[in-house]
Structure 1
Amino acid sequence: MTNAATGLPFDDIRNLVKDIPGPDHDAVAACRAREGQLTKPPGALGRLESISEWLCAWQAQHPPKSERVVVAVFAGNHGVVAQGVAAYPQEVTAQMVANFQNDGAAVNQICKSFDLGLKVFELALEKPTRDITQDAALDEAECAATMAYGMEATEGCDILCVGEMGIGNTTIAAAICHGLFGGEAQDWVGPGTGVDSEGLKRKADAVRRAVALHKAHLDDPLEVLRRLGGRELAAMAGAVLAARLQRIPVILDGYVATAAAAVLFAMRPDALEHCVAGHLSAEPAHRRLLEKLGLKPVLELGMRLGEGSGAAMAAGIVKAAAKLHSGMATFASAGVSNKEA
């Protein structure tokens, strides 16, 4: 896919993507050296060992930090809901934001369980994006500004979990994936919050019509985002990009958050190496999308709630991996005999 310069707001985003840092190889080497001295057989902690190494690589330090883990939930509304693609009315988005703020949602309880911070970003809920079957969801300036707003989510954290809330946004995620990766519209749609078989047909039809309408512009991933996306997806893409620039590892939530991140992958295939997939959503197309991105989920619990819940659950595992690596004794410090040479 091409990233041609336009002289417009997206140029700033393109330039940032060109300048993203790579992993810190010295931190990785230090991590591996300590891992080999910890009081356990080599490889005995399985993927937990690779997670601690991943943290070091993208935090550019050893040992890794996990004291300030933040779950950022971005909320937006979508004009495509007028196409009958959602099981719940659009006002539920604002009602759930209030629930987050009042400590009443699932993600609140998960955050308390693992001592995670929670930030909720409300994105002009009173003004849904334009219906993607009839127009571009956002103009370029709106989309770039929303990405820039999402970049603020990284402030003061060691690890960032990215999630969302938005009635109708699994349709948006499906449209983005269809626009980026092709296939058939029905390959990318699923029940979301629980639409019936007729609702599923409406979703696939809306995705098909939207991608056909914007087809001439879909060779540019940022155009895919602004034409087929939404405010919370643009903000999540901005947050993921900012985290890379600031050397903050990212845990992605489910299908919608991963679709937002996929825009960066389409711009640059190594753009998501600082990310892990928190879980495998029960939304059917999430597996297909993770395979496209080369991401292996940390958890597979059959969850499909959104609101950052899967990423927050995975954060407990990531925090444990960091603590294991940093806190375990070495053979020498514990006076334990190591494996004979």
Structure 2
Amino acid sequence: MEKELQSIVARIEPADSHWEKLAWERLRSQIRPRGSLGRLEEMAARLGAIFRSVSPSVSRKIIFTMAGDHGVAEEGVSAYPQEVTAQMVFSFLKGWASINILADHVGAEVRVVDLGVASDLPEDWAVIRRKIGKGTRNITKGPAMERHEAVRGLVEGARLVMDAVQDEGFHLVGTGDMGIGNTTPSTAIVATLTGKPVKDLTGRGTGIDDAAWNRKVRAVERALAVNRPNAADPVDVLAKVGGYEIAGLAGAVLGAAAVRTPVVCDGFIATAGALIACQLAPFAKDYLFVSHRSQEVGHGAMIELLGLSPLLDLSMRLGEGTGAALAISLVEASARVLRDIKTFEEAGVTDTGR
């Protein structure tokens, strides 16, 4: 699968600056004061560059919620037991959870992917089955997974998105996660890539108390000391301190960029995946929108490293793809701004040049 991953990365080109210029020309000619729609205009111009069009459509939207378990959960780093991962997958499939309600609100389909849930999910569950292993190994004792497993997770995530776009006609992708304990490997990833102290990047996850927070900090510090992930090799970082669902999330960003499709990542865990993707393929960032600023303290370091501004700041820290769902509505609005607002010439309105 290394060759397939290399092929996907090789397909990723920069968004088209010529079409971005054309988008800005249209935006500045519309019947309103120039710049009056603020960041919606910036998003619209980015969509113009991505789609190579001044009339983009993002009406078909899909969110992939990637699920996986983590061996490091045995270190007592979460407020919830590991079996909650599978239980929440069931809730997603039944349409009961936060992601289902918010995705329905914005007209997005939700697909749940098992990349590494620890238990065997029943055959009658309508989950996308891409299981690489039954949870990662405990990163405080050794690597989370083998390198070939990390590569497989990247490729699986990319395939899912590329197929959805090319075969089913989706225009906009969101990414979300489910996995008890997954803020711990996400913290290890951002600590590796930024070099910042672990304690400055470690948050409360599902709402852990001080004792659990201290265990979490120590777990991440041990994971980095034991595994010594190579910050210059994102696949090594993913394999040593990542997660199966984080691999899928990273692959989803790569897949979207490879087929010139905007992708909206959720919060802390999904952004960890986006970081891995953008380290592998820097131009992938041209297709990426960070949905919101997570309450997880390490998220600020992630978005600083990416150099992207979150679209929302709502004090959220849930995951699942909930932030992506809300931000998708803004991306869709920005597409309509570019496409549907008339220009002064089209509307016959006097332009004062302001």
Secondary structure of 1:174's counterpart equals helix
Q: Which structure 1 residue ranges, 4+ long, deviate > 6 Å from structure 2?
A: none
Task: Return 5+ residue gaps in structure 1 as ranges.
Answer: 1-8
Amino acid aligned to 2:350: S
CA distance in 1, matches of 2:353, 2:286: 36
The one-character-per-residue Cα deviations of 1:66-95 (angstroms, maximum 9, x if unpaired) are 111211110100000011101101111111
Alignment of 1:265-304 (within 5 A): 265-304=278-317
Say if 2:108 is the partner of 1:101.
no
Shift of 1:50: 0.8
Secondary structure of 1:118's counterpart equals strand
Amino acid aligned to 1:89: P
Say if 2:320 is the partner of 1:313.
no
Alignment of 1:9-88 (within 5 A): 9-10=1-2, 12-14=4-6, 16-88=8-80
Alignment of 1:192-271 (within 5 A): 192-215=205-228, 217-271=230-284
Cross-structure match for 1:130: 137
TM-score, normalised relative to structure 2: 0.90
> Does the aligned pair in 1 maintain the 2:193–2:231 contact within 8 Å?
yes
> Does the aligned pair in 1 maintain the 2:76–2:215 contact within 8 Å?
yes
> Does the aligned pair in 2 maintain the 1:331–1:338 contact within 8 Å?
yes
CA distance in 1, matches of 2:227, 2:217: 16
> Does the aligned pair in 1 maintain the 2:204–2:213 contact within 8 Å?
yes
Larger mean Cα displacement after TM superposition, 40-49 or 24-33: 24-33
Say if 2:196 is the partner of 1:183.
yes
Say if 2:177 is the partner of 1:164.
yes
CA distance in 2, matches of 1:169, 1:10: 25
Cross-structure match for 2:128: none
CA distance in 2, matches of 1:27, 1:305: 36
> Does the aligned pair in 1 maintain the 2:85–2:178 contact within 8 Å?
yes
Cross-structure match for 2:126: none
CA distance in 1, matches of 2:270, 2:222: 23
CA distance in 2, matches of 1:306, 1:340: 44
Cross-structure match for 1:3: none
The one-character-per-residue Cα deviations of 1:227-283 (angstroms, maximum 9, x if unpaired) are 111110000111101111100111111011111111233345443222111000111
> Does the aligned pair in 2 maintain the 1:60–1:247 contact within 8 Å?
no
Secondary structure of 1:70's counterpart equals strand
Shift of 1:115: 1.0
Cross-structure match for 2:149: 142
Cross-structure match for 1:6: none
Cross-structure match for 1:5: none
Amino acid aligned to 2:289: V
> Does the aligned pair in 1 maintain the 2:291–2:310 contact within 8 Å?
yes
CA distance in 2, matches of 1:216, 1:22: 28
**Identity of paired residues, percent?**
38
Query: Per the alignment, do residues 219 and 335 of structure 1 end up closer, same or farther by CA in structure 2, a change over 3 Å counting?
Result: closer
> Does the aligned pair in 2 maintain the 1:10–1:140 contact within 8 Å?
no
Amino acid aligned to 1:76: G
TM-score, normalised relative to structure 1: 0.93
Task: Return 5+ residue gaps in structure 2 as ranges.
Answer: 120-133
Shift of 1:12: 4.4
RMSD of aligned residue pairs (Cα, Å): 1.7
CA distance in 2, matches of 1:138, 1:331: 58
Cross-structure match for 2:105: 113
The one-character-per-residue Cα deviations of 1:98-157 (angstroms, maximum 9, x if unpaired) are 111111111111111111121111223121111111121111221111211111332132
CA distance in 1, matches of 2:170, 2:229: 40
Secondary structure of 1:279's counterpart equals coil
CA distance in 1, matches of 2:229, 2:239: 14
Shift of 1:223: 0.4
CA distance in 2, matches of 1:255, 1:315: 17
Secondary structure of 1:75's counterpart equals strand
> Does the aligned pair in 2 maintain the 1:180–1:266 contact within 8 Å?
no
CA distance in 2, matches of 1:184, 1:15: 35
CA distance in 1, matches of 2:287, 2:329: 18
